[in-house]
Amino acid sequence: MSINIRWKYALSLVLFACALLTVSACSEEARPVKGFVLPEGDIAQGEQVFIDFNCHVCHTIPDVDFPAVEFTPPFVVPIGGEVYRVKNYGELLTAVVNPDHIISPKYIAMLERADREVIISPMPYYGEEMTVAELIDLVEFLHSNYTRLQPQYYRGYYLTK
Ligand code: HEC
């Protein structure tokens, strides 16, 4: 009898663990990629891809001049520049191929200031038109436009700019 109860107990524990796993697997919609390595891209070509795909209509990059645009969207999101944490290559690649995965906090702040709700990213999906070579160059170009700022410390205090 007592063995039976122990078995039931063990079984319910196993079932509970399985349920937990299932729930976490479901909520983890994205598939993180380990061992995903792309070859080095060409920064100058990447800048051209940025222009060819009209990324400059919705984005500015400090110190990079782009051709004038006819239409300016209500929210222009600056990318690149001096930041305390450089967006890593994988994050930039994800931002391009899967824009809805993480909506940029900068953009959310802009919309909140304008009393608008954020639901999806207005960024188009480029998977159909962009070649892999273009994507590699583009992400290399984006990555090259981030500079990491060193935090300044003063007598143990952390100073932000
Ligand atoms: C129609 C406007 C629009 C176009 C065109 C567009 N984007 Fe975006 N992009 C956005 C908006 C708005 C965001 C912020 C919301 C989000 O995170 O998706 C964003 C976010 C990003 C981010 C993440 C920025 C951050 O700080 O998290 C990157 C990188 C980016 N875009 C690159 C590109 C590239 C490269 C192209 C061209 C291939 C492009 N975008 C085209 C509107 C656009």
Asked whether residue 35 is assigned to any structural domain, the reply reads: no
Q: How many domains does the chain have?
A: 2
Q: Which two tokens stand for residue 9?
A: 């107990």
Which residue CA neighbors atom 22 of ligand 1 most closely?
A: 95
Q: Which residues pair with 147 in a beta bridge?
A: 82
CATH number at residue 148: 1.10.760
The pLDDT tens digits for 143-156 are: 999 988 876 666 66
Within 10 Å of residue 79's Cβ, how many Cβ atoms?
Answer: 21
CA of 98 to the centre of ligand 1 (A): 10
6 and 82 part of one domain: no
Asked whether residue 126 is assigned to any structural domain, the reply reads: yes
Confidence band for 88, pLDDT divided at 50, 70 and 90: confident
Q: What pLDDT was estimated at residue 126?
A: 93
5 and 81 part of one domain: no
Buried b / exposed e along 41-70 (16+ C-beta atoms within 10 A): beeebbbebbeebebbebbebeeeeeeeee
Q: Ligand 1 — pocket residues by CB below 6 A?
A: 50, 53-55, 57-59, 73, 75, 77, 79, 92, 95-96, 99, 103-104, 106-107, 121-124, 126, 138, 142
25 and 49 part of one domain: no
Asked whether residue 133 is assigned to any structural domain, the reply reads: yes
Q: Which domain holds residue 25?
A: 1-30
Name which of 20-34, 46-60, 138-152 the model is least confident about: 20-34
47 and 26 part of one domain: no
Q: What pLDDT was estimated at residue 50?
A: 98
Q: What pLDDT was estimated at residue 160?
A: 59
Residue partners of 146: CB distance under 8 A and separation at least 6: 80, 81, 83, 86, 87
Q: What pLDDT was estimated at residue 27?
A: 43
CA distances from 133 to 22, 38, 55, 126, 153 (A): 37, 10, 17, 13, 42
Q: What pLDDT was estimated at residue 24?
A: 47
Q: What is the DSSP pairing of strand 157-159 with strand 59-60?
A: unpaired
The pTM assigned to this predicted structure is 0.80
Asked whether residue 37 is assigned to any structural domain, the reply reads: no
47 and 6 part of one domain: no
If you average pLDDT over residues 70-96, what whole number do you get? 89
124 and 81 part of one domain: yes
